[in-house]
Amino acid sequence: MVPLGALVLIHVLDYGRVLLGAYEIGARRHPSIALLVAEALLVFVPLALHAVWSLSVWRRRRAVEGSSGSMLAHRIAGVVVLVFLADHFVRFRLPILRGEAHPGDSVVRLAAELSTTRGGMPWVAALHLVGTIAVAFHLAMGLRRIVDRSERLRASPAARASSVAVGIVIGVVGVLTILRLAAGA
């Protein structure tokens, strides 16, 4: 989970460069085979394992511990994250993998989608906000659970605060980036 959390943090901060005026992020060439293999091994396989493994852990823990409100919120956020990531993959990564787009096109494409309205409402931007907040919450809760389960980490106020801080940074930078792109800036 920690490597996936680092990936999310890097991704959000990379796109957060839009807040500093960047209009293109990524290369104007298609990804190499080595990069695609690394992406599969370091991103897609761990995400799939996390999703599958978390279901079995949730069932076991629910039977033993019951279900608290925070755990229910964590699981609901996980489902929202899964839908958000699947949508993100289909709309952004898949065209790059098919050779229909370059990674450098992502910011312009995302800005165009986020600034589109239907019936006067920016639905795509609103759904991106929900997805980004769900990612921040789910990651912060997951990190906090790791800290709470480790006797050494639980004793460290810095470790506990860091888990919350990561979620706050991802949430704030992600939301501000979406708002900036949706505003057409």
Give the confidence band of 178 by pLDDT, cuts at 50, 70, 90: very high
Q: What is the DSSP string of 102-125?
A: -GGGHHHHHHHHHT--BTTB-HHH
Res. 126: pLDDT tops 90: yes
Residue 65 pLDDT: 65
Q: Which amino acid is at 100?
A: E
pTM for the predicted model, two decimal places:
0.83
Retrieve residue 64's tokens: 């033993």
Q: Which amino acid is at 88?
A: H
Residue 146: Cβ-neighbour burial (10 angstroms; 0-12, 13-18, 19+): middle
* pLDDT, tens digit, 9 for 90 and up, residues 128-168: 999 999 999 999 998 888 898 888 888 888 988 998 899 99
Q: Are 134 and 84 in contact (CB under 8 A)?
A: yes
d(CA 36, CA 31): 7
Q: With both helix axes pointing from N to C terminus, report the angle between 106-114 and 123-149 in degrees, rounded to the nearest 10.
A: 110
Retrieve residue 25's tokens: 């992020």
Res. 74: pLDDT tops 70: yes
Q: Which amino acid is at 5?
A: G
Full residue range of the structural domain in which residue 32 is found: 2-182
* pLDDT, tens digit, 9 for 90 and up, residues 88-99: 889 888 898 888
* pLDDT, tens digit, 9 for 90 and up, residues 31-65: 788 877 888 888 888 888 888 888 777 777 766 66
Number of domains observed in the structure of the chain: 1
